[in-house]
């Protein structure tokens, strides 16, 4: 049972990690928590569902199309709701983000109704038995695809010119601008990448739980945000580690202690970690700029 629970925890942890990356990318640059991110994940899931159910798209093209569409939505949200507020007080874009969050979930309720939608894809229900350990097809997809996306993102950020520009912008927007970096485009890019990853996570969760619904972004968003803080918000490896840890801790708590106490214990772990290391596990100390 231990290994099976570990596999379950890693699966959901991968999802948290993918969503957490969106929080961390944006926070790393703008020092701003995009509260609408959970709802972007939900919208991505619905777009995926629409493509697969209504347009009968195969799985892989549906993933790509939904990711691109959600990335565009993420960029539009940044342009319309956040960019005009960039110089305003820090609390202002936060309120705007809450507004976007409510707007998106209400929009989804209007468009797709309040109910839970099953994923039609028969994909994912096939199970493999590896030495007593049960893996479903979708679980393997989540593990492999999430891992590949994270490696890809890591290489992109550390090995490419745009990636370097992204890191430069996260160090200091003003200085990056002085170096000739179009920081607005970099910020758009951060939103696009975060939203695309959220969409992929959304579709995979939709298939895994066989449920897509308008309020799915709420708890997933909170958990992923917590995972990002746990790992060290602003740090990309931190988001990945935080997501996995959060998923595994949550699962083990449910398995060995008590399911109703899952959240209590997971969030207690968060508090303890933050007390010992206020910047999160892999977070860097913020240097106060004078």
Partner 1 sequence: MNRKLGWIPVLLALLMVLMTACGGKEENSSSGGTIQIGLAAPISGTQAQYGEALRNGAELAARQINEAGDIDGKTVKIVVEDDKGDSNEAVNVANKFANNKDILALVGHFNSSATLAAAPVYNRNRIVHISPASSAPGVTDAGDYTYRVITTDAFQAKFLADWSKELGYQKVALIYEQSDFGLGLLDVYQSAATAHGIEIVAAESYLPGAKEFSTILTKIKEKRPDAVFIGGFYNEAALIASQAKKLDLRTDYIGVDSLYSRALLELGGESVENFKLIGFFYPGGNNEQATKFRDAYVEAYGKEPDTYAAYAYDAASILIEAIRQNGADREKIKAYLDTLKDFPGATGSLTFDENGDVQTVPQKLIVKNGAFALYEG
- The binding site for partner 1 (CB under 8 A) comprises 1, 4-5, 8, 12, 80-81, 84-88, 92, 95-96, 98-100, 102-103, 106-107, 109-110, 113-116, 118, 124-125, 127, 129, 134, 136, 138-139, 209-211, 215-216, 251, 254-255, 259-260
DSSP labels for the chain?
A: -HHHHHHHHHHHHHHHHHHHHHHHHHHHHH----TTHHHHHHHHHHHHHHHHHTS---HHHHHHHHHHHHHHHHHHHIIIIIGGGTTS-THHHHHHHHHHHHHHHHHHHHHH-SS-B-----TT--EEEETTEEEEHHHHHHHHHHHHHHHHHHHHHHHSHHHHHHHHHHH-HHHHHHTT--HHHHHHHHHHHHHHHHHHHHHHHHHHHT-B-TTHHHHHHHHHHHHHHHH-TT-HHHHHHHHHHHHHHHHHIIIII-STTHHHHHHHHHHHHHHH-TT-SSPPPPPPP-
CB of 127 to partner 1, least distance (A): 5
Nearer to partner 1, 81 or 274 (CB): 81
CB of 130 to partner 1, least distance (A): 12
CB of 147 to partner 1, least distance (A): 19
CB of 282 to partner 1, least distance (A): 26
Nearer to partner 1, 130 or 272 (CB): 130
> How many Å separate Cα 196 from the centre of its chain?
9
CB of 278 to partner 1, least distance (A): 30
CA angle at 267 for the pair 90 and 26, rounded to the nearest 5°: 35
Nearer to partner 1, 183 or 251 (CB): 251
With a CB cutoff of 8 Å and minimum separation 6, the contacts of 254 are 262
CB of 274 to partner 1, least distance (A): 24
Nearer to partner 1, 127 or 268 (CB): 127
CB of 78 to partner 1, least distance (A): 11
Whether the Cβ atoms of residue 158 and residue 236 lie closer than 8 Å to each other: no
Nearer to partner 1, 95 or 151 (CB): 95
Nearer to partner 1, 255 or 269 (CB): 255
Nearer to partner 1, 180 or 260 (CB): 260
């Amino acid at each position: 049972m231990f290994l099976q629970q570990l596999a379950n925890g890693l699966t959901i942890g991968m999802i948290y990690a993918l969503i957490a990356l969106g929080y961390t990318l944006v926070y790393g640059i703008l020092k701003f928590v995009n509260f609408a991110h959970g709802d972007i994940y939900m919208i991505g899931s619905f777009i995926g569902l629409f493509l697969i159910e209504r347009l009968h798209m195969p799985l892989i093209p549906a993933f790509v199309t939904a990711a691109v569409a959600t990335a565009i939505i993420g960029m539009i949200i940044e342009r319309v709701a956040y960019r005009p507020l960039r110089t305003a007080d820090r609390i202002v874009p936060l309120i705007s983000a809450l507004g976007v969050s409510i707007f998106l979930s209400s929009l989804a309720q209007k468009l797709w109704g309040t109910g839970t939608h099953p994923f039609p894809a028969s994909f994912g229900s096939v199970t493999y038995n590896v030495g007593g350990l049960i893996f479903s097809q979708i679980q393997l997809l989540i593990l492999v695809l999430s891992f590949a996306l994270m490696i890809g993102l890591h290489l992109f950020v550390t090995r490419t010119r745009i990636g370097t520009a992204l890191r430069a912008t996260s160090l200091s927007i003003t200085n990056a601008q002085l170096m000739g970096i179009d920081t607005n485009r970099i910020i758009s890019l951060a939103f696009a990448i975060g939203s695309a990853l959220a969409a992929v996570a959304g579709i995979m969760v939709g298939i895994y739980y066989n449920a897509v619904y308008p309020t799915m972004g709420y708890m997933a968003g909170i958990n992923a945000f917590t995972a990002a803080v746990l790992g060290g918000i602003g740090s990309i490896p931190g988001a990945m580690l935080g997501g996995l840890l959060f998923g595994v801790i949550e699962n083990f708590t449910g398995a060995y202690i008590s399911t109703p106490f899952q959240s209590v214990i997971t969030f207690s772990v968060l508090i303890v970690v933050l007390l010992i290391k206020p910047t999160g596990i892999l977070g860097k100390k913020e240097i106060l700029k004078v």
